[in-house]
Structure 1
Amino acid sequence: MASPLTRAGDAVPVPLRRMRRLATFMLVAMAALFLLSRRMEGVHPAWGFVQSFAEAAMVGGLADWFAVTALFRHPLGLPIPHTAIIPRNKDRIGDTLAAFLRDNFLTARVVARRMHRVDAAGAAGKWLADPAARSGRLRHGASRLAVNVLEGLDPDQFGTMVRGALANRLRAMQVSPALGRTLEAAIADDRHLPLVDAIIRWTSKTLDANEELVRAMIQKRAGAVLRWTGLDETLATSVVRGLHKMLAEVAEDPAHPLRAKANEGLALLAHDLQHSPEMQAKVERLKNDLIDNPALAGWWMGVWEKIRGGMLRAARDPDRALAGPIGEAMRQLGRTLQSDPVLKAKVNRFARRAVVGAVADYGDGIVRLVSDTVRGWDAQTITGRLENAVGRDLQYIRINGTLVGGMVGLAIHVVDVWL
């Protein structure tokens, strides 16, 4: 069946054509009945009742035909005043429709009141928790769309674009205070101790791997007398053994003085990262150097290709993806959204604020879009669309006008005869 809103030039919907023909047929039938009753008026008094009915029915049908036609065009093409109402007032109709939308739907107060009755978190939780609810056209259509988008985009260009967006975000972000606060919180909870232990182990392994280099450096800096007497080698051995012994003691003793010094150094670093302009400038320079490093760009492109490949595999086979950890995480999130009243309240509040904010920010734009769209239609377009939308009901007005007019005429004739 044709859509009730058709474009200008489209065929008139079949139900509308049928109703037009029926209303016109009834009007013609009343005219024929009126002529017949005039000729048969002297045969029997009953024909007077028929004539009154047919005459009033013609008047009612013609009046309603004129009224219905005058909404959309000039009756019989005659420029009668106050006809072709819709084409002449299409701009005002658009403005009125836009004002109606704004006052009754697109105000923050109305939307907020309606959103209070919407359980967005519960609906989302039910959809996420029930795998069957996620199946169907929506999921498979979304997966096909995701595949087409990912395959249609140039991987290198899109990866470069994403990397550029991340780089710009990182450049605008001052990382020093965040690093300082993170380090300060870790020290307060002793979560930095594994880092200290790892540094000690790494230093010990580095010393083992470079013992000969350390010995050579000590011997090179030893005096000529020590080298002549052969004590340079003894000194190097003593230094290396001392370093090994000190690192072993630091690793075994949590209260070693060097650990306290390391803690003091880390605490000072955390403070400087948050409050020292010089340290923050150094960190920012290091951050920018890392961002501009070509090696990092190459590393990112490799990571991005892996991410893109994983996204493509998940999009091509959503059932398999949802059957794994991703699906279990979604189900757990759905159950939590349904069972946790605090989280549900937060999500609903966020959804309500998001919708109200969108209405506040874009409501006027939507209203203008409606008004400008109607203004942009030509008179024939808006007339055709409105007539095809409500014309069938308007033809009922013609039919009812014919019948009601006939009944009124018959009633008047009955009263006239009785009196």
Structure 2
Amino acid sequence: MSSNPSSGLQKSRFFANVALIMAALTWVFLLVMAKVFPEQSWWIHILVLSAEAGMVGGLADWYAVTVLFRNPFGHIPIPKFLKDHTEIIPRNKARIAESMGRFVQENFLSPQIVEKSLASTDLSMALGKWLTNPKNNTQITEMVQQILPKVFEFVGQQQIANFIQNNSVQWLRHTQINQLSSQMLRAVLENDFHQDVLQRGLDVLHQWIVQHPEKAQQLTRKLLKELGVWKFAKGMSWFGIDVQQRTVDSFLEKVESMLADPEHLYRQQIEEFAQQLMLQLADSNSAASIQLNQTKNALLDSDAVLNFIRGAIVIICDVIKADLQKPDSGIAENLRAAIQQIGENLVENQAVRDLLNLRMTGLAIQMSDQYSEKVILFISERIHEWDSTEMINKIENEVGGDLHMIRVNGVVVGAFIGLSLGIIRALFDWFI
């Protein structure tokens, strides 16, 4: 905090001192004039009274302003009741600190105030509009491009890999993933995501078979060999029956029929299998759940799997770092587009905004209830730690200009009051 008085404070203090000195000089001058011109003393005394009142008003306001910050008597012995009411701000620093803390709590941080303030504010709409602004989402992306590579350099990809691996492995070890798998499968089935995936998979498979007939036949030949019927298939070719091609054609026909018919028997069987698997995984004692958890534990106990995870994370970190350092980073552009899309979705989707506003309001109310006392304590402690001299200078720089202008007003108003009283007194003497 600065200890030098501001130019505004210096100017106001100068005007106040000049006004007080002018009132005192005028008072002395008028007293002299009354002695020099006794025949004119009746109207000069009116002006003397005005100057006296102005001087008294200026001195009284000077005293009132000064005792706020310091003791105007210095080391002069004065009665205790006077001394106890000097240096008002330094003496009451603790009470001011507590009062400021309570003021912040009652007017800004109380759960009722937070709830009332947020009830009339669509935070998610404001957030959505902010995110859709190209300047803002580009700024976020650029910040990520600058910070994330430096994080990789400072921490090291190997340390990041070890951290992620250790924490993810520990989480997986203590998690019965059958319940998680069941919930994920339920979400997929209830939203028909599996139908979209199946449709897309069948379409890709159909295109691949049509566009790569030779590779399809090679795979069929390998399958027939694995099944031990390749010699039989080869022998049937002597009778003009191409078992290999018929197998490919039959498979292609079934794929096409599944693509064309959403209610195909195979589709229904896949649906039934997924439903049964979801129910089995929901039961931790089912064979499917036990097998899944055992497989999970076996994989986590495998050094090869752990080394693979660690190596994959290092490779991913290297790829991310290298890409983010490019001027035309694909990751950065995708991130910017994702932020833009999130903002647009927030602006367009009222239901999502309502839910997000509800969650943010609840979180803000909970945090204000839990941490408002800590904020108050922090404010109070900071004020207690302020040096009294610096605090006085800071407050005086902020409001001292207006306080010293009150001194000027005291001189002027006092002079007018004294003049008015002098005129009334002269009129009283004149008529009585």
* TM-score band w.r.t. shorter chain: 0.7 to 0.9
Q: 1:246 to 1:266 in 2, by over 3 A?
A: farther
Q: Are residues 21 and 307 of structure 1, via their aligned partners in 2, closer, same or farther at CA, if it must alter by over 3 Å?
A: same
Cα deviation, residue 390, structure 1: 1.2
Provide Cα deviations, 1:346-398, integer angstroms capped at 9, x if missing partner: 33333323322322222221111111111222322322222222111111111
Equivalent residues in 2 for 1:116-265, closer than 5 Å:
116-131=119-134, 142=143, 146=147, 149-150=150-151, 153-156=154-157, 157-183=159-185, 191=195, 208-209=221-222, 237=231
Q: Contact (CA 8 Å) 2:124, 2:356: kept in 1 or not?
A: yes
Secondary structure of 2:34's aligned partner: coil
Aligned partner (choices 1, 5, 17) of residue 12 of structure 1: 5
Against the structure 1 CA distance between its residues 101 and 149, is the aligned structure 2 distance closer, same or farther, given a 3 Å change threshold? farther
Cα 1:179–1:344 shift into 2, 3 Å: closer
Matches of 1:281 and 1:185, distance apart in 2:
22
Structure 1 residues 151 and 30, CA, compared in 2 at 3 Å: closer, same or farther? farther
- Please tell me whether residue 114 in structure 1 is matched to residue 111 in structure 2: no
Structure 2 equivalent of residue 354 of structure 1:
363
* 1:72 paired to 2:85: no
| Counterpart in the other structure of 1:227 | none
Deviation at 1:83, TM superposition (A): 0.8
Give the distance between the partners of 1:211 and 1:76, measured in 2 at CA: 111
Q: 1:274 aligns with which of 269, 277, 282?
A: 282
Name the structure 2 match of 1:41.
Answer: 34
Superposition RMSD in Å: 4.2
Change (3 A) 1:87 1:263: closer
**1:55 pairs with 2:52:** yes
Residue type at the aligned position of 2:382: T
- Alignment partner of 1:87 is 2:95: no
Distance 2:198 2:404 in 1: 86
Following TM superposition, by how much is the alpha carbon of 1:19 offset from its aligned partner in structure 2, in angstroms? 1.2
- One-letter identity of the residue aligned with 1:146: I
Q: 1:380 to 1:152 in 2, by over 3 A?
A: farther
1:229-287 residue CA offsets vs partner (Å, 9 max, x unmatched): xxxxxx99459999989999788668999999988876665444321436545434543
Q: Is the 8 A contact 2:101 2:379 kept in 1?
A: yes
Equivalent residue letter for 1:35:
V
Q: Please, what TM-score do these two structures have when normalized by structure 1?
A: 0.75
1:107: how far off? 0.8
Q: Does structure 1 residue 22 correspond to structure 2 residue 15?
A: yes
2:307 aligned partner: 294
User: Which of 377, 380, 390 in structure 1 is aligned with 2:386?
Assistant: 377
Taking every aligned residue pair, what percent have the same amino acid on both sides? 24
Give the superposition deviation at 1:153: 2.6
State the match for 2:240 in structure 1: none
Read off the aligned partner of 1:153 and give its amino acid letter: F
**Would you say the 8 A contact 1:150–1:308 is kept in 2?**
no
Q: Is the 2:149–2:324 Cα contact (8 Å) retained in structure 1?
A: no
Post-superposition Cα deviations, 1:399-419, rounded to whole Å, max 9, x if no partner, equal 111111111111111111110
- Distance in 1 (alpha carbons) for counterparts of 2:166 and 2:173: 10
Q: Is the 8 A contact 2:101 2:376 kept in 1?
A: yes
**Would you say 1:344 and 2:353 are equivalent positions?**
yes
Secondary structure of the residue that 2:364 maps to in structure 1? helix
The code of the aligned residue for 1:85 comes to: I
For residue 154 of structure 1, what is the amino acid of its counterpart? V
**Alpha-carbon contact 2:128-2:342 (below 8 Å) kept:** yes
Question: What one-letter code is carried by the residue in structure 2 that aligns with 1:84?
Answer: E
- TM-score normalised to the size of structure 2? 0.73
Distance 1:239 1:335, change over 3 A: closer
- Is the 1:250–1:258 Cα contact (8 Å) retained in structure 2? no
The whole-number CA distance in structure 2 between the counterparts of 1:294 and 1:273 is: 29
Displacement of 1:61 in angstroms is 1.0
Q: Does 1:97 align with 2:94?
A: no
In the alignment, is residue 401 of structure 1 matched against residue 410 of structure 2?
Answer: yes
Tell me if structure 1 keeps the 8 A contact 2:221–2:230.
Answer: no
Letter in 2 for 1:117: S
Structure 1 residue 12, shift from structure 2 partner: 1.6
1:112, 1:356 within 8 Å by CA — same for their partners in 2?
Answer: yes
- Output the amino acid matched with 1:300: I
CA 1:250–1:383 in structure 2 vs 1: closer, same or farther (change >3 Å)? same
Which of 377, 381, 386 is the matching residue for 2:395? 386
Structure 1 stretches of 5 or more lacking a match? 1-5, 216-234
CA distance in 1, matches of 2:175, 2:394: 53
8 Å contact from structure 2 (residues 141, 335) kept in 1:
no
What is the CA distance between 1:331 and its match in structure 2?
Answer: 3.8
- Alpha-carbon spacing, 1:27–1:143, altered in 2? closer, same or farther (3 Å): farther
Give the equivalent residue in structure 1 for 2:321: 308
Instruction: Check whether the contact 2:9–2:400 (CA below 8 A) recurs between aligned residues.
Output: yes
